[in-house]
Amino acid sequence: MTFVVIPKNKQQEKIIKTFMQSLDINFHSEEDAALAIRIDQIKTDKRTYQLKGVQSFPITQPDQKSFAIESKLLDIYACGVSVKEASEDFCHQFDYTYQRLRNIDDTKLSNHLLDAKRLIILLVDKIKEK
């Protein structure tokens, strides 16, 4: 279980850390905290990918008007004006990347994209065509 607690000063931070550790709860300061989507399925209008377990992908807010979700390892970058829109874009980018990498011969890929191909294939358990 993870809680995000924003203490007002160092004394409060110390008290909160001690209390939370006694309950076996992880403490994350505001600098450590990160928003992420956790998914075990990726749905698009063409396919549904069932992943091998729940995967986390970080959500950032590069500016006040947009959200981004990325996986540098998979070479997937998505954005939108809301988290929902960024999530939808991420699903479409995942689908595009999976289909594209599966159909390119390994010898034509850079080392980074070859690693991305191997990883994305490993992450997917089943694909259901619509």
Looking at residue 3, its pLDDT comes to: 45
Looking at residue 11, its pLDDT comes to: 60
Q: Are residues 59 and 104 in the same domain?
A: yes
3-state secondary structure of 46: coil
Q: Are residues 44 and 74 in the same domain?
A: yes
| Closest to 95 measured CA to CA, from 130, 59, 45, 57 | 45
Structural domain total, the chain: 2
Q: Are residues 102 and 47 in the same domain?
A: yes
Looking at residue 56, its pLDDT comes to: 87
Q: Are residues 91 and 40 in the same domain?
A: yes
Q: Which residues of the chain have pLDDT under 70?
A: 1-34
Strand-pair partners of 80: 67
> Which range marks the domain in which residue 90 is found?
34-129
Q: Are residues 53 and 98 in the same domain?
A: yes
Q: Are residues 10 and 56 in the same domain?
A: no
Q: Are residues 39 and 21 in the same domain?
A: no
Q: Are residues 12 and 38 in the same domain?
A: no
Q: Are residues 58 and 92 in the same domain?
A: yes
Q: Are residues 20 and 38 in the same domain?
A: no
CB neighbour burial string for 16-34, b if at least 16 within 10 angstroms, e if fewer: beeeeeeeeeebeeeeeee
| Closest to 75 measured CA to CA, from 36, 114, 46 | 114
Looking at residue 14, its pLDDT comes to: 59
Residue in the block written with tokens 């986390």: 56
Q: Are residues 76 and 117 in the same domain?
A: yes
Looking at residue 13, its pLDDT comes to: 61
Q: Are residues 50 and 11 in the same domain?
A: no
